[in-house]
């Protein structure tokens, strides 16, 4: 059914594009280019509105993840725009997971050992530089800017407030579908948390962020077609559940009752 829908939409888009082309060829040569551009843009928007996209998005995946005119490091990393940077970030996360999970290294011990090694190298280099007739190492002065700390704190604050507002709306009982979805998601996370520790769960999520967006961007049409079919089936099952269960739940304020 989904394949038939996709093929039907493709035929509609091709026929619409053919009509646009014929219209442009049959148009008066004295007509301005702006009119033709407006026709093309309106026709393209009409075609896009008929195509189903996952989560109802209208922008490309790169822009959804934050990419665009400004260079977004997260979007470039997750979609492997710069393979060296993406591989480096994934490799660093893998090394951290191997050290703490497989080798059972502790964070405090690792930080202390790194500091011991770094300070020893710099100290020996500074003291032996005059003997080997080389310049002493220039130790940069590292200062954390106040603006960066404020921006990071403000970003976290806005995201936390947004999440709390969503949870408040869900708990108010206005949207039963969102409530059930959040409950199911939290239950899945609780099951995963009982099987995996936090570091392994975080690493698995990091791997998914480096693989799922890339695969979705590569097989976008197939995934959207399958998602459209799955969403239609879920809506059908939810309608049955709502008519048989949710519709029987009393709503509204409870009336005061006197108990003898």
DSSP assignment of 130-163 equals TTTT-PPP--------HHHHHHHHHHHHHHHHHH
CA angle (102, 107, 112) in 5-degree steps: 125
**pTM of the full predicted structure?**
0.55
Runs of H (alpha helix) within the chain: 2-26, 33-50, 61-64, 73-78, 83-97, 107-128, 146-171, 176-195, 198-218, 220-244
| Number of other residues whose CB lies within 10 A of the CB of residue 231 | 14
pLDDT tens string 55-102 = 566 676 766 666 655 555 677 888 888 888 889 999 999 999 998 888
pLDDT tens string 118-172 = 999 989 888 887 777 778 778 888 888 888 888 888 888 988 998 898 888 888 8
């Amino acid at each position: 059914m989904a394949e038939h829908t996709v093929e039907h939409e493709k035929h509609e888009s091709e026929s619409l594009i053919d009509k646009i082309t014929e219209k442009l060829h049959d148009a008066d040569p004295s007509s301005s280019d702006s009119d033709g551009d407006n026709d093309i843009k309106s026709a393209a928007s009409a075609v896009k509105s008929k195509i189903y996209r996952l989560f109802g998005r209208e922008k490309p995946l790169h822009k959804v993840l934050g990419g665009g005119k400004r260079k977004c490091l997260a979007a470039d990393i997750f979609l492997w725009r710069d393979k060296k940077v993406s591989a480096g970030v994934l490799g660093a996360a893998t090394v951290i997971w191997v050290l703490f999970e497989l080798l059972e290294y502790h964070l405090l011990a690792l930080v202390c050992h790194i500091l011991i090694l770094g300070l020893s190298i710099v100290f020996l280099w500074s003291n032996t530089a005059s003997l080997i007739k080389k310049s002493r190492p220039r130790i940069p002065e590292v200062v954390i800017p106040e603006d960066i700390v404020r921006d990071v704190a403000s970003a976290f604050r806005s995201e936390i407030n947004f999440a709390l507002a969503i949870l408040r709306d869900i708990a108010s009982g206005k949207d039963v579908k969102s409530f059930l979805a959040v409950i199911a998601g939290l239950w899945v996370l609780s099951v995963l948390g009982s099987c995996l520790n936090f570091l392994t769960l975080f690493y698995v999520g990091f791997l998914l962020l480096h693989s799922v967006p890339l695969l979705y961007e590569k097989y976008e049409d197939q995934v959207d077609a399958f998602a459209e079919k799955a969403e239609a089936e879920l809506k059908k099952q939810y309608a049955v559940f709502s008519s048989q269960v949710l519709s029987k739940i009393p709503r509204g304020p409870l009336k005061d009752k006197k108990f003898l």
